[in-house]
Amino acid sequence: MDTVYIEKEVASHGKTTQICARYPKARQVLIDRYSDVFNSRAQNFREQKKNPCLILANKSGNRVHETPPGYHIGGQHNYYFSHMLNCVYDCRYCFLQGMYQSANYVVFVNTDDFFQDIKLTVKKHTDPSWFFSGYDCDSLALDPITHFVDDCVELFSKLDNARLELRTKSTQIRPLLKRVAQPNIVVAYSLSPQAIVATEEHGTPSLAKRIEALKALQTQGWNIGLRFDPLLYADNFEHLYGEMFEQVFAALDMRRVHSVSLGVFRLPKGFHKQLVRLYPDARLLAAPMQLHDGMVSYPEQTEKHMREFCMSRLSTAIEPEQFFPCS
């Protein structure tokens, strides 16, 4: 990290000091609001991705949000929170590049405020509330810098009526392996066939490494989740995904997997347009796509075929109650 922007409000925050200590040679720039840098116009996401900056900020206002309909793994009350904006990985299909102008990483250092809001949200319901981290970022990828996982696991270990999903592609699982597995936390990995990882998921750990991490977590008693989302179309789709399922089924105890979800590639129209502008020759954009209800995705028949193929393979390894389709 060559440049760290620091909101004046959090300049003396303990977490700011701790993070800055990791980058003693970085340029430090004091700013009024993170949005001055992050949301400013004339930024180029693709170019910034080559040399992103870190922005340390305070998150005010709403910190815990309800998830969109259909975003759940069986819970009644579903919320997400983002202690960070943007992701260290560079996946071509990622909606973040359509959502944000900037590829810089924003880390909100006021985690205690997030935790306070989570506690208040839990109190609203008598039955368990689910919290999803990893909606606007990867939950684990920047953990060596943020130490978010330690704090978060500590909090949820004391919240019996709360469930947490940490969604990731990262293999930074040491903080989890150091701890006793928590029954109310699910570590969920996004998985894709290795050929797709290599072409479309730049900078991410290989499929084999992710499976290895899942196996280590499962062995230690952690709940694990598998997220086959997004499924990308290819003419050799069945071969690619069939092979991946075999690898996953061979490595993991599938009956003990907490939850499995899958979703076909889809992007809101505006985000898709931005993706085309940024990466017009991305391979995934060469597939036939259609616009339905403001979302760009594959033609209905293609989508149906992709879903059915994956579900038929998954049904050989998991029970229906483990499965949650994405919409």
- CA distances 9 to 107, 153, 179, Å, are 14, 27, 33
Q: Convert 204-241 into a string of H (helix), E (strand) and C (coil).
A: CCCHHHHHHHHHHHHHCCCEEEEEEEEECCCCCHHHHH
Give, as ranges, the residues between 170 and 229 that touch other proteins (CB under 8 A).
193, 195-196, 198-199
Instruction: Check: CB of residue 94 under 8 Å from CB of residue 45.
Output: no
> What angle, 0 to 180 degrees and rounded to 10, lies between the N-to-C axes of helices 148-157 and 111-123?
30
Among 17, 18, 22, 46, the residue binding other proteins under the rule CB under 8 A is: 46
Among 6, 10, 53, 185, the residue binding other proteins under the rule CB under 8 A is: 53
Per-residue binding string, other proteins, 297-316, x by CB under 8 A, is --------------------
11 binds other proteins (CB under 8 A): no
> Segment contacting other proteins (CB under 8 A): 8-16, 39-47, 204-212, 248-256?
39-47
> Segment contacting other proteins (CB under 8 A): 47-55, 123-131, 170-178, 291-299?
47-55
Secondary structure element (H or E) that encloses residue 311, with its range: helix 300-314
What is the residue type of 74? G
Q: How many CB atoms lie within 10 A of CB 103?
A: 22
Among 11, 13, 20, 26, the residue binding other proteins under the rule CB under 8 A is: 26
CB nearer to other proteins: pick between 22 and 46: 46
User: What φ, ψ does residue 225 adopt, rounded to 5°?
Assistant: -125, 150
Measured distance CA(33)–CA(27) in Å, rounded: 17
Per-residue binding string, other proteins, 263-302, x by CB under 8 A, is -------------x---xxxx-xxx---------------
246 binds other proteins (CB under 8 A): no
240 binds other proteins (CB under 8 A): yes
35 binds other proteins (CB under 8 A): no
First to last CA, the chain: 36
Binding site for other proteins (CB under 8 A): 2-3, 5, 25-27, 29, 31, 36-37, 40-44, 46-48, 50-51, 53, 193, 195-196, 198-199, 232-236, 240, 276, 280-283, 285-287
